[in-house]
């Protein structure tokens, strides 16, 4: 399910950074639909796991995929360049996410 959600997030990130797609009339309805499907996948998966410790670990992977997608898509497909401060912020975010998720 995480792979399917990752694919949906790649599509959503692509839509968000594509000027042509953002200007189309169907952009907002499609973005809402994709977000709804991703959220539904989350809730189905949590219901299936049904163990708070395993859910907690799963959230770490879910958050990592979500953050990775929204950083990688602009870099690969849209030529966004990160400066040293953005790289520093990315590193701090990853460290913070790992510390918060792994401290329990």
pLDDT tens profile 48-76 = 998 988 998 888 889 889 888 988 888 88
- 65-68 contacts: CB < 8 A, separation 24 or more? 65/2, 65/5, 65/6, 65/9, 66/9, 67/93, 67/94, 67/97
CA distance 71 to 80: 9
Q: Where are the domains of the chain?
A: 2-102
pTM: 0.76
Give me the percent of the chain exceeding a pLDDT of 70.
Answer: 99
Does the pLDDT value for residue 104 go beyond 80? no
């Amino acid at each position: 399910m995480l792979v399917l959600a990752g694919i949906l997030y790649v599509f959503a990130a692509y839509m968000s950074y594509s000027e042509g797609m953002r200007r189309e009339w169907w952009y907002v309805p499609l973005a809402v639909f994709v977000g709804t499907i991703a959220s539904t996948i989350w809730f189905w998966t949590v219901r299936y796991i049904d163990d708070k410790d395993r859910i907690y670990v799963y959230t770490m992977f879910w958050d990592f995929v979500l953050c990775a997608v929204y950083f990688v898509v602009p870099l690969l497909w849209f030529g966004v360049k990160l400066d040293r401060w953005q790289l520093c912020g990315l590193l701090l975010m990853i460290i913070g996410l790992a510390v918060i998720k792994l401290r329990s």
